[in-house]
Structure 1
Amino acid sequence: MQEPFDITIGEIDYAIFPEGNDTYVVFKDGREYRHILKDTESQWLTLDPDTALPLFGEDEEVNAIGKEITNYVPEAEEGEEDDQEEEL
């Protein structure tokens, strides 16, 4: 399972916690902000906090967060970098 990671959009920092099945918990300003779900490559949905059902509707912030999640590339761990250099 993917480890939590941080993204920045403009001046706002978000902490992203993957839950599996293209579902993520997003923290904003140190507080739980939203649960989001990937719908398509460019569409992301917010999950209702009470029922966990998707809320349909266009949300630019959620789509921007989703785009950054999709583009995120985990940093290689120190041991992995050493292994890759030895292979060269």
Structure 2
Amino acid sequence: MQEPFDVLVSGVVYSVFPEEDNIYTIFKAGEEFGKIEKDTENVWIMLNPETETPMFGDIPEVDAIGQAITNYVPEEEDDEDEAEDE
């Protein structure tokens, strides 16, 4: 499973915790923002916090977070630095 990571959207840092296929738990400023799911390439859906069913409707913030997740490239771990630290 992918490790948690942070994305920056409009000057706000969101912490992203990947879960099962295309579902992510998002934290904003240390508070749980909610779960989002990738619907199509450019459309992301917020999940109902109680039932985890999709809540359809255009939420620009969710789409922006989703786009940042899509664009996220994990930092490569530098094995040489780790070997030097040992």
TM over 0.5: yes
Residues in 2 aligned to 1:7 and 1:69: alpha-carbon distance in whole angstroms: 7
Secondary structure of 1:74 counterpart: coil
- The two structures, once aligned, show a CA RMSD in angstroms of 0.8
Per the TM alignment, residue 71 of structure 1 is displaced from its structure 2 partner at its CA by 0.4
Q: Which amino acid aligns with 1:66?
A: G
Secondary structure of 2:19 counterpart: strand
Query: What residue is the counterpart of 2:61 in the other structure?
Result: 61
Task: State the percentage of identical aligned residues.
Answer: 50
Q: Which amino acid aligns with 2:76?
A: A
Q: Using CA pairs under 8 Å that are at least 6 residues apart, name the structure with larger relative contact order, 1 or 2.
A: 2
Secondary structure of 1:51 counterpart: coil
- The superposition leaves residues 11-44 of structure 1 with CA deviations (integer Å, 9 ceiling, x where unpaired) of 2110000002100000000011110000000000
Query: What residue is the counterpart of 2:8 in the other structure?
Result: 8
Per the TM alignment, residue 78 of structure 1 is displaced from its structure 2 partner at its CA by 1.5
Structure 1 segments of 4+ aligned residues over 4 angstroms from their partners: none
Q: Is 1:18 matched up with 2:26? A: no
Q: Is 1:48 matched up with 2:22? A: no
Query: What residue is the counterpart of 2:84 in the other structure?
Result: none
Residues in 1 aligned to 2:20 and 2:8: alpha-carbon distance in whole angstroms: 21
Q: Which amino acid aligns with 2:77?
A: E
- The superposition leaves residues 44-84 of structure 1 with CA deviations (integer Å, 9 ceiling, x where unpaired) of 000000100000111100000000000000000121xx4xx
